Chain A
Amino acid sequence: MENKIKLALAQISCKRGDKKANIKKMEALVNKAKKQGANLTIFPELSLTGYVVRDQIYELAETIPGPSVKALEDIARKTNSYIIFGMPELSEKTKATLYNAAVLVGPEGLIGKYRKMYLPTHSVFEEKRYFRAGYQAAVFETKIGKIGLIICYDIFFPEVSRLTRLKGAQLIVCISASPAIRKAFFEALTIARAIENTAFLAYVNLVGIEDGLQFWGGSRLVGPKGKVLAQAKYDEDDLVMCDVDYADIKPVETFVPTLRDLRPELFDELKKHAEEL
């Protein structure tokens, strides 16, 4: 496994409902990132379709594997690099049960997927109307490290990131579609999740305006000590290259040993009280 990798935070605006155009855009960016040495290019939540597609999501969703995943696998193979992107997933066993999914593909093909566990359904968000929530944290062991996947609102719930870390993730990737008024939350939470898990956290947010929602971008890589190592522009398309050196984790794990000091017995208490809320 590589100890040092290069990430490309590919913060894009999407053409809503136009998978072909979005895949084409992704391909161009993966090629560009690869030329700059990227091992992994990360795109935002639902970057295959755009975020505000509402009822059209039923005709846009695909199974994983499926044709769009196949297109991304081909791009990964051609560029000999890894790609993470977001898409609406259609369950293979049903006709209209959907998940908000993050997909990881690499030179070896489809590596895995994560189904978003926390679906925001408040304010301008209506995800529970369309999606079924996932049940499992997702961590994948690859040649470029152990990668955990989370999506947007999951970051408000420390247990999701924690689970990926406990399952071995060194790099937590959070893909997102966050509109502008929530910027301050994400800027705090990305740092908090990295520190409390002593892991790298790559956050890639959507940009562009969809139905009046302005996505703010601001994608970033946060180091295990909570330092913002790379930061993309606000509000506009951007491609930011950054380096992850997994060797940085060890000194932080001894400096702030949050994993050593974990108290599993508190989790039972948590469970009890959460059920009684």
Chain B
Amino acid sequence: MKIRRFIKDYVEKSKVKGIVLGLSGGIDSSTVAALSALAIGGKKVLGLILPEKETYNEKDVEHAKLVAKKFGFKTKMVDITPTLETFYKTIPNFDPDDKVCKGNIKARTRMIYIYYFANRHNMLVCGSSDKSETMMGYFTKWGDVAADISPIMDLYKTQVRKLAQHIGIPKEILAKPSSPALWPGQLAETELGIKYETLDLILYGLEHFMETKDIAQQLGIEKTLVERIKSRWLSMEHKRRMLLTTKLEYRTVGADFRLPRGEY
């Protein structure tokens, strides 16, 4: 309810026509799209399905359409493969084997498509990042995380799963393992090296100022694992708090210019 109210309030204050978001067919974007539709009505929500040939999965597209049908919002599918191939061809030092760099192009290209629709139709971009991946820095800077509002960023993945179930996201989507789909076969839990059930409890402990040894003890896990998660969490702040400059003058952007955010 709080999330729906937040979305509705922000859309109204921003005086925009609606919300656009990337729709992967996964649990996070399905949940955010559904919540948006519940908050402002499906007619004002557009889900962009942006597949590309390397990671194309028919099931994901089906799932995206399934959620759209159930919650009554619009979708549009655009194949971004030709755009990506142009990047691959024209970036002079492009290395096809560096999958992270290549994957980030995909996330950032999707961002460009989504923001084009937002600008063109006076809509807000709604992000689908959750708290687990945000704390881990498990996202592409200026890519999938780029949004005007991020309604579920304060909920861990395990909480999002419960929320998704609660609002009626179809169970085939709930059951799927999470993937950013930046390269074929990429799975979030494999890449992070930990199950979300454990990760979220560690992050919850860190959020509540618990010491690593106490977290390890309470969860019955190795302290080194907790320390690895903590160090990753801390080292990723640069991806969460952007626009860094050095203090030179009286009031500085990002440091001590403390202004109300306003709406859009």
Contact = CB atoms under 8 A, between A and B. Distances in A.
Contact of B260 (A56, A129, A214): A56
B155 to A, nearest CB: 13
Interface string A33-61: 00000000000000000001111100000
Nearest to A54: B258
Interface string B1-32: 01001100110000000000000000000000
Contact of A55 (B6, B258, B261): B258
B182 to A, nearest CB: 29
Interface residues of B, number: 11
Interface in A217-237: 235
Nearest to A50: B260
A235 B5 CA distance: 9
B260 A53 contact: yes
A129 B258 CA distance: 11
A56 B259 CA distance: 7
A112 interface: no
B261 A211 contact: yes
B261 A214 contact: no
B252 to A, nearest CB: 12
A248 interface: no
A263 B9 CA distance: 50
A214 B6 contact: yes
Q: Using C-beta atoms within 8 Å of the partner chain, give the interface range for chain A.
A: 10 to 19
A124 to B, nearest CB: 12
Contacts of B258: 54-55, 126, 129
A166 interface: no
A56 to B, nearest CB: 6
B260 A52 contact: yes
A214 B10 CA distance: 12
Nearest to A129: B258
A16 B2 CA distance: 20
Nearest to B8: A209
B5 A214 contact: yes
A16 B257 CA distance: 17
A53 B261 CA distance: 9
Contacts, number: 30
Contacts of A134: none
Nearest to B2: A214
A211 B260 contact: yes
Interface in A45-85: 52-56
Interface string A180-221: 100000000000000000000000000011111010000000
A97 to B, nearest CB: 18
Contacts of B259: 54-56
A235 B8 CA distance: 13
Interface string B231-264: 0000000000000000000010000011111000
B148 to A, nearest CB: 12
Contacts of A129: 258
B260 A209 contact: no
A209 B257 contact: no
Nearest to A52: B260
Contacts of B10: 209
A211 B259 CA distance: 10
A73 B251 CA distance: 37
Nearest to A235: B5
A54 B261 CA distance: 9
A52 B9 CA distance: 16
A17 B260 contact: yes
A163 to B, nearest CB: 32
A126 B259 CA distance: 12
A209 B5 contact: yes
A32 B236 CA distance: 53
Nearest to B154: A212
A211 B251 CA distance: 21
A1 B5 CA distance: 44
Contacts of B251: 55
Given A55-B258, A212-B6, A212-B261, 12 more contacts: A54-B258, A54-B259, A55-B251, A56-B259, A56-B260, A126-B258, A180-B2, A208-B9, A209-B5, A209-B6, A214-B5, A235-B5
16 contacts: A17-B260, A52-B260, A53-B260, A54-B260, A55-B257, A55-B258, A55-B259, A126-B258, A129-B258, A209-B5, A209-B6, A209-B9, A210-B260, A212-B261, A214-B5, A235-B5
Interface of B: 2, 5-6, 9-10, 251, 257-261
